[in-house]
Amino acid sequence: MRRLLILSVRILVSLALLYLALRGINFTAIKSRLSQINVGWIGLAVIVTVVQIFIGALRWREISELCQAPLTNLQAFRYNMIGAFFNQTLPSSIGGDAVRLWLVNRTGAGWRAATYSILTDRAIGLIALALIIVASLPWSYGMIAGSKGRLALVSVDLAALAGGLGFLLLGYLPWTWLKRWWPTRHFHACSVIANEVILNRRSGPKIAVLSMAAHVLTVVIAWCAVRSISAPANFEQVFMLIPPIMLITMMPISIAGWGVREATMMVIFGYAGLAQTDGTAVSILFGAVSFIVGAAGGLVWILSSEKTAAAIAISPADDEPAEPKSVNS
């Protein structure tokens, strides 16, 4: 009952945000833009999205191995594709992560190792995104007109950087209560693993490159959506604007980011001097590409052997194997 209530609330939030984002939009202009879609660019965006998922799978496989939850490249890719499907039906990326957790646990890794691999993967991806946003701040700041827009951009950048650095710092704190208190000991363990992953001489550089590549491909997907409707935005502008938008879209308050992404892209496009209508159209196309890839992930799920297993029941507290072993870099 509680899960149904939370899901209902998030559906309502998505609808409310979509209403707020679209109520002042010229639907005639959007219809005109969408009627001129170049299907070739959308097809390219779908291909790039699949490649992005594969790159994310390569990173996750490296992290999972260090978390004592080893996966093959094919397993990681299949699980990420299945996760993409559930991301389209459940709040933000939480639904996909929960299903990935269940799938990894079924390999015999255990709930704890599976959870740590996914949380660490998410944390490293967030840190990489924060670094891209901060590194591009000198250029994106100059692109944004108006003090409110610049203040919002800097606030998002600083919050992302502070969150990433704070998470990594947590692993170095010597306080014993961090390891004993249930709400903090798991985050502390994930922080320790994240530091080991980043500083690992073998996997660290590879994970850094894969993380940056995944976020650059997000920009490429958005660029394909821009080109599909011939919107007057160049690649440099898209590169500066999309990472902050993706960071805000990560908030788990809507279904698959719908509503949050449209509202954010409309506002940021406006601050950058671009047409808000184009921002909304690009956001809709970006979501449509994710939906198409998610549908392909649904086919992977339907045809998978895991589909015939018992019904999914995710309750990590029921089974807590020993802590994953520390990894020497």
- The CA–CA distances, whole Å, from 224 to 44, 48, 106, 231 equal 7, 9, 37, 10
**Which pLDDT tens digit goes with each residue over 46-58?**
999 999 999 999 9
Predicted confidence (pLDDT) at residue 306 exceeds the cutoff of 90: no
What DSSP character marks residue 255?
A: B
Angstrom distance (rounded) from CA 173 to CA 313:
34
pLDDT digits (tens, 9 = 90+) for 204-252: 899 999 999 999 999 999 999 999 988 888 898 899 888 888 888 776 6
Q: 323, 113 in Cβ contact below 8 A?
A: no
**Domain residues of the chain, as ranges?**
29-306
Instruction: Measure Cα distances from 206 to 74, 113, 214, 324 in Å.
Output: 18, 21, 12, 22
For residue 188, CA distances in Å to 171, 177, 191, 321 come to 5, 10, 5, 17
Question: 314 pLDDT exceeds 50?
Answer: no
pLDDT band (50, 70, 90) for residue 41: very high
Q: Say what the pLDDT of residue 137 is.
A: 82
Cα–Cα distance, 292 to 271 (Å, whole number): 30
pLDDT per position as a tens digit, 248-300: 877 665 566 666 777 778 778 877 878 878 888 888 899 899 999 999 999 99
What is the secondary structure of 129-174 as a DSSP string? HHHHHHHTHHHHHHH--SHHHHHHHHHHHHHHHHHHHHHHHHTT--
Query: pTM of the prediction?
Result: 0.79
List, for residues 162-190, the tens digit of each pLDDT value.
888 888 888 888 888 887 787 788 888 88
Looking at every residue in the chain, the average pLDDT score rounds to 80
